[in-house]
Amino acid sequence: MSTHQLGSIDLPPIDQVGFIVKDMEKATAYYGALFGPFHVSEHELTGATFRGKTCDCKLSMAIAMSGPLEIELIQPLGGDNPYDEFLEEHGEGLHHLRFAIGNLEETLKQLATEGIEPFFQKSFPEIGVAFAYVANSQKSRVVFELIQKEGA
């Protein structure tokens, strides 16, 4: 994982751009014309933490590649989640930029010094993956996703 420090936080290059959509079928048709075919799957996230509370949600997710950059589409299908919140506040569109990092907890500590705090987190210890969405909503509506994958 290559990093290069541009600011006060040491992050690697962006590896994913995520969009929130209302209708996965329409979204994959539209974005598929730009990025090629998407692989669509449904997921249930149980035991995530959203704004300090434990929550469960169901999502439709689609992945395509643009060179080395992953393009992700997310459609919320139920439960308490940040995606419905985003749709209500902003409508469909760009939601997050993702960084694959080596140590999630250390990076969260660094970001906290800049006023950037986690608001949605989930760990999957059985597969060695953990992620967090972070933002400073007073400064920007763009969310950053941090993902830690063991062995990556």
Does the pLDDT at position 4 exceed 50?
A: no
Instruction: Indicate the number of domains in the chain.
Output: 1
Residue 4 lies in a domain: no
Mind listing the pLDDT tens digit for each residue in 71-105? 999 999 999 999 999 999 999 999 999 999 999 99
Residue 10 lies in a domain: no
> In the prediction, which pLDDT does 1 show?
45
Q: Which of 69, 66, 74, 67 is nearest to 28 (CA)?
A: 74
Residue 57 lies in a domain: yes
Does the pLDDT at position 15 exceed 70?
A: yes
> In the prediction, which pLDDT does 8 show?
67
> In the prediction, which pLDDT does 152 show?
58
Nearest-angstrom CA–CA distance, 99 and 36: 22
Residue 2 lies in a domain: no
Which CATH number goes with the domain that contains 39? 3.10.180.10
Global pTM value = 0.90
Write 59-68 long-range contacts (CB < 8 A, 24+). Answer: 59/83, 60/24, 62/24, 62/27, 62/28, 62/38, 63/38, 63/39, 64/31, 64/32, 64/35, 64/36, 64/37, 64/38, 64/39, 65/35, 65/36, 66/35, 68/15
Mind listing the pLDDT tens digit for each residue in 100-136? 999 999 999 999 888 889 999 999 999 999 999 998 7
Residue 5 lies in a domain: no
> In the prediction, which pLDDT does 136 show?
78
> In the prediction, which pLDDT does 6 show?
44
Residue 26 lies in a domain: yes
Residue 7 lies in a domain: no
Q: Which of 47, 99, 42, 100 is nearest to 76 (CA)?
A: 42
Average pLDDT over residues 41-70: 96
